Amino acid sequence: MIQLFLLNPDFIDPKADKNGTVYYCPDCAIIEGILSYYPELRKELDIVYVDFETPRTGIVALIGEENQGSPVVIISKEETHNVDVSYFTAYGDVLFINSTTLIAKFLSEKYNVGLMHP
């Protein structure tokens, strides 16, 4: 199954703020919006929520420490039928994308949902 990793909201980032300000990931919020518009996607994807703190072991185990940003879609090379994967990055036996715009494009192409307006 295709995996989508998103950050849990309400995290503290001591590098950005020393006062304990609570944040959410704006790119993950965009993807959550797409999931809200098209709830059927939740049945098609293995959505994994991870904490902000690194290392994000679930992501690292699949695509390495250098690629643990989120949001990220990870797909096995066997699941690429009928999908343009030219904009994915290869890592071992999987492909991944970690650009919000490209994730939206992939979801539109793969699951025939609306595309992000340019």
pLDDT of 33 reads: 99
pLDDT of 81 reads: 83
Q: Which residues of the chain have pLDDT under 70?
A: none
Say if 118 falls within a structural domain.
Answer: no
pLDDT of 2 reads: 96
Place of tokens 């904009």: 87
Say if 22 falls within a structural domain.
Answer: yes
Q: Percent of the chain, pLDDT > 70?
A: 100
Tell me the C-alpha distance between 110 and 104, whole Å: 10
pLDDT of 90 reads: 97
Say if 21 falls within a structural domain.
Answer: yes
pLDDT of 82 reads: 82
Q: How many folded domains does the chain comprise?
A: 1
The residue segments making up the domain with residue 21 are 3-111
The pTM of the full predicted model, rounded to 2 decimals, is 0.95
Biggest distance spanned by C-alpha atoms of the chain: 48
Say if 117 falls within a structural domain.
Answer: no
